[in-house]
Amino acid sequence: MRFSPLVGRVAGRGSAAWDVHVEARRRQQAGEDVIFLTVGDPDQEPPAVAIEAMIGAVRDGRTGYSPTIGYPALREAIAARVARRSGQPCAADNIAVVPGAQGGLYSAMQCLAGPGDEIIVGEPIYATYEGVIGASGARMVTFPLGPERGFHPDLDALTRAITPQTRVLWINSPHNPTGAVFTRAEVEAVAALCRAHDLWLLSDEVYEDLAFARPHTSAWSLSGMAERTVVVSSLSKSHALPAFRLGWVVGPPELIRHLANLLLCLTYGSPAFIQYGALAALRDELPEVAALREDYRRRAALMSDLLADAPGCRVIAPEGGMFVLLDVRGTGLAAADFARRLLDSERVAVLPCDGFGPSAAGHLRIALSAPEARLRDAAERILRFARGLNRPR
């Protein structure tokens, strides 16, 4: 039997990046003690106010259908949060509630681009980006976020990448997998290119609350950009609630109307009880969110310090997010080989970044999604493995 061409377009080259994770999960289920540092799945407790509000909503019978793009009260709370943080106007008709940031990116791309269009995104890219773009029928064009620049954008290369077919410039800050936090000047330069070439600016800001080298600059904070800016974020990282699958798209009202039609076909609305939990989480700036940021700042410093002496390796300390990059090219092993052999010998699972783009080749992404004692144990195992590679035979 034949399948739609879509199945090939959504697979993407980045799907192979998860091979080590899948194998590690199999071993864990078989009883092995594996330290999982592959995915950005927060291990901390989420804010109690969100959990209690969700449970209360279930008990109150909030189990029916909800408005397709979210309850008005939740959209208003998200809009107020965006306006408060960005200093720019934002109203409920600028907001669509979506199934997580991933669902928001997919839905937004379906409404922004199609066959014949080009989407420019900095690479390394997060593994799903290629599939999201491919699903729309558009073509992905990349420009480098190279290690020699601290994985910050090469604006000259970005400018050269723009063609008459370009429809969207897509940025991600704090960046996954590199942890780079773009400066305000960099985000403004991207915005200026969007204005000059009449392009959409799509900004993945799911790690917005986890910037620690400098303040996060939201694309929505730039004046004169409201008609062409689309921001996607969620509760997954900031509130340690990935299972909620509760995110939002911020954009012009016309885009939100198109998203409403798409979501009607796709999800028919987010679960009502989860929206009540999200509303409790977003009414105020919760202290738990700031505590999470400081937790990841400490963990990043700890892991960077512990791995600084790994032979043949170089640590790239993050500016934000919940990952540390380890450049292993000096060991003579490809990142995938290093990760597989590390799993075999030391039972530590990390993510090779080769599938994220050529600028990330030879790097490992180490998630800081474990308590400090577990991270120390993982670092010791990685050091032992790296030292063994350099031991005379």
Q: Using the predicted structure, report yes or no on whether residue 5 has a pLDDT greater than 90.
A: no
Rounded to whole angstroms, the Cα distance separating 34 from 16 reads: 20
CA 339 to chain centre: 21
Rounded to whole angstroms, the Cα distance separating 200 from 386 reads: 44
Per-position b or e across 216-238, b if 16+ CB within 10 A of its CB: bbbbbbbeebbebbbbbbbbbbb
Compute the average pLDDT of residues 304-314: 96
Q: Using the predicted structure, report yes or no on whether residue 127 has a pLDDT greater than 90.
A: no
Structure tokens given for 373: 């004692």
Give the model confidence (pLDDT) of 79-92 as tens digits: 999 999 999 999 99
Q: Please state which of the ranges 11-25, 95-109, 232-246, 328-342 shows the lowest mean pLDDT.
A: 11-25
Q: Using the predicted structure, report yes or no on whether residue 393 has a pLDDT greater than 90.
A: no
pLDDT of residue 10: 86
Considering only CA atoms, which of 308, 388, 349 is closest in space to residue 32?
349
Structure tokens given for 31: 């009883």
Contact between residue 246 and residue 278 where contact means Cβ atoms under 8 Å apart: yes
Give the model confidence (pLDDT) of 102-124 as tens digits: 999 999 999 999 999 999 999 99
Give the model confidence (pLDDT) of 249-271 as tens digits: 999 999 999 999 999 999 999 99
Confidence of residue 8 (pLDDT cuts 50, 70, 90): confident
Q: Name the helix (H) or strand (E) containing 351.
A: strand 348-352
Q: Using the predicted structure, report yes or no on whether residue 14 has a pLDDT greater than 90.
A: no
Q: Using the predicted structure, report yes or no on whether residue 392 has a pLDDT greater than 60.
A: no
Those residues whose C-beta lies under 8 Å from the C-beta of residue 99, and which sit 6 or more positions away, are 245, 246, 247, 267, 270
Q: CATH classification of 48-282 is 3.40.640.10, yes or no?
A: yes
CATH topology assigned to domain 6-45+287-389: Aspartate Aminotransferase, domain 1 (3.90.1150)
Report percent pLDDT > 70 for the chain. 97
16 against 52, higher pLDDT: 52
pLDDT of residue 16: 61
Give the model confidence (pLDDT) of 137-163 as tens digits: 999 999 999 888 999 999 999 999 999
391 against 27, higher pLDDT: 27
pLDDT of residue 340: 95
Rounded to whole angstroms, the Cα distance separating 206 from 292 reads: 14
- Torsion angles phi and psi, residue 363, rounded to 5: -115, 150
pLDDT of residue 19: 85
pLDDT of residue 64: 96
Question: How many C-alpha atoms does 292 have within 13 Å on its Cβ side?
Answer: 27
Q: Where are the domains of the chain?
A: 6-45+287-389, 48-282
Q: Using the predicted structure, report yes or no on whether residue 53 has a pLDDT greater than 70.
A: yes
Question: How many C-alpha atoms does 377 have within 13 Å on its Cβ side?
Answer: 14
The chain-wide mean pLDDT, for the chain, equals: 95
